[in-house]
Amino acid sequence: MPTDVSRAKGPEGEFLRGAGIDKHWVTSSGYMSCVSPSGKWLGNEPCSKALEAFGKLPKDEREPNAVKVPDLKPSEALIPTPPAGGLVLRVHGRFLGRDDKENLRPIKGDDFPQLRSKESDIRYLRFLFEPNTEYMWLTKEEWQSLVPAKPVKGDRLPVASAISERMARFHLSPRRALTSEDGIVAKKDIKEAKLTLVVDDVLPQRIRLLLVGFVHHGSDYDKAKATSPNGPLGFGYEAPIHGVLEYDRKKEAFVRFDIIAPGEVWGRWGDANGKSQTIERPGRSPLGFAFELAKGDSPTDRLPPAGHGGRALRAGYFAASK
């Protein structure tokens, strides 16, 4: 739940402030705040004290529907919902390492020079060794533009720049995906963002498309300057893009949307003060992304891009390239 939502005017902010959630959080490590069905904050751990406080509430405040929450008007909603008829992709980003034969493998603590042999720091930063998941949105018009009207095997179709630049700025962003709530890449920092569809197979039931492309944003790689920590080379990232898309002609919908971007990152990651972060590595370091079709079988599939309210949308998420 973004902090700016709990501070905003309107029904959502008022409800969160009334429950005290603007000051108290639930985390995966077990820290939690307890709130009654009527919207009263009952305290933090231990649970026994919260349960005791809950038992002292009037019966009508302990039962479901203690508070009637009306449907929000579109103008009141602070957290956006996916576009009507649109398509949602799950995006997974993670640090990677290489074995002795230069094959990609899961990351290890010792792959980060600044964490090497520091077991306590590695345990504290263990979340960095797992994939981070967020979501990419396409409007109905955008995903429909990916379906060739008269598909012929071997045909090559350019993907709209609005889609390729969105992927580069908001989703193929190592900083945003792994170390920041923001990290949106400025349009001026995009060196290349190009996607092309190739018709691979045409059947009465389905059309199979291959997606190929390349993304590069930030600095140009310079081995002499890609040192760590606090090297002089500015941050940069590039990745080839490969995908397989399948369109069901009867359902008139995509049933497969698998994309990988096995990229490399270099230069200074930079914290709030511009200094190196502990996950910075010298040279070119592997860091990959994968996209898949969200089926809508999880509430998280409704999370907005970047997972932080409407910040991405306000930063030009759906803006067409000019």
Judge whether 71 and 6 are in contact, CB under 8 Å.
Answer: no
| 47 and 161, same domain (yes or no) | no
Question: How many other CB atoms are there within 10 angstroms of residue 99's CB atom?
Answer: 8
| 186 and 293, same domain (yes or no) | yes
Angle at 86 between CA 95 and CA 300, to 5 degrees: 50
| 27 and 116, same domain (yes or no) | no
Q: Which range marks the domain in which residue 9 is found? A: 3-62
Q: For the chain, what is the domain count?
A: 2
**Inside any domain, residue 54:** yes
| 110 and 150, same domain (yes or no) | yes
Mean pLDDT by 10 residues, the chain (322 residues): 72 76 54 64 65 80 75 79 94 95 92 90 85 94 97 97 96 87 86 98 98 98 95 96 98 98 95 84 96 91 80 84 44
| 142 and 40, same domain (yes or no) | no
116/81 Cα distance (integer angstroms): 42
| 55 and 96, same domain (yes or no) | no
**Inside any domain, residue 319:** no
| 34 and 140, same domain (yes or no) | no
* pLDDT score, position 299: 86
128/174 Cα distance (integer angstroms): 12
| 51 and 114, same domain (yes or no) | no
**Inside any domain, residue 206:** yes
* pLDDT score, position 29: 45
Where among 62, 78, 96 does a domain terminate? 62
Give the 3-state secondary structure of the chain. Answer: CCHHHHHCCCHHHHHHHHCCCCCCCCCCCCCCCEECCCCCEEECCCHHHHHHHHHCCCHHHHCCCCCCCCCCCCCCCCCCCCCCCCEEEEEEEEEEEECCCCCEEECCHHHCHHHCCCHHHHHHCHHHHCCEEEEEEECHHHHHCCCCCCCCCCCEEECCHHHHHHHHHHHCCHHHHHCCCCCCCCHHHEEEEEEEEEEEEECCCEEEEEEEEEEEEECCCCHHHCCCCCCCCCCEEEEEEEEEEEEECCCCEEEEEEEEEEEEEECCCCCCCCCCCCCCCCCCEEEEEEEEECCCCCHHHHCCHHHCCCHHHHCCCCCCCC
**Inside any domain, residue 73:** no
**Inside any domain, residue 77:** no
* pLDDT score, position 144: 98
15/39 Cα distance (integer angstroms): 7
| 56 and 107, same domain (yes or no) | no
